Amino acid sequence: MVWTKYIWLIASVLLGAAGQVLMKWGVGMPRPEGVGLFSWKGLTTAWPVTAGIACYGFSSIFWLLALKQFPLSTAYPMVSLGYILVMVLGYALFQESLTLQKWFGAAFISAGVLLIARA
C-alpha cells in the first residue's frame, strides 16, 4: 500500500520524540539513596528511562521500514520534525519555555522539510 510508507516514517518520528520525553521524565524521578541511574535497580526505579530506550528501539525498526520506501535524502529531513514535537511537549509536560526565537526556529525547520519533501 502506498500510504504505509508514511506510517513507518511518522511512527519513527513519534516514537523518537516519545523516547526523549520519557527519558527526560525518568532522569528527573527520585531514586533511593545510593542507587545510580545506570544500575539494574536504577533502571527499574526510573522505568520511564527504560521505556524511552524501548521507544528508540521501535523507532529504529520503523525507520528501517521507512528507508526501504523513501530516498534517504527525503526521509532524513523528516526526523527534524521530532525537534518541533519535543519542543512543544517540553513546554506542555515540563513547563519549559517557548520563546519567539524557538518558534522561528521551528518555522525554519518546517519550511526546510517542506522544501526538501517537494524536491
Of residues 31 and 55, more confidence is placed in 55
Mean pLDDT value of segment 91-116: 95
Question: Residue 119 has what pLDDT?
Answer: 66
Question: Residue 46 has what pLDDT?
Answer: 78
Question: Residue 15 has what pLDDT?
Answer: 98
Question: Residue 63 has what pLDDT?
Answer: 96
C-alpha cell of residue 57: 528501539
C-alpha cell of residue 99: 520563546
Taken in order 7, 9, 12, 18, is the CA torsion positive or negative?
Answer: negative
Question: Quick check: 77 and 9 in contact, CB under 8 A?
Answer: no
Question: Residue 88 has what pLDDT?
Answer: 97
C-alpha cell of residue 42: 536504577
pLDDT in tens, 65-84: 999 999 998 899 989 999 99
Q: Give the rounded percent of residues in the chain with a pLDDT score beyond 90.
A: 64
Mean pLDDT value of segment 29-36: 71
pLDDT in tens, 39-64: 666 666 778 988 999 999 999 999 99
- Which DSSP symbol is given to 36? -
Longest dimension (CA), the chain: 54
Question: Quick check: 81 and 109 in contact, CB under 8 A?
Answer: yes
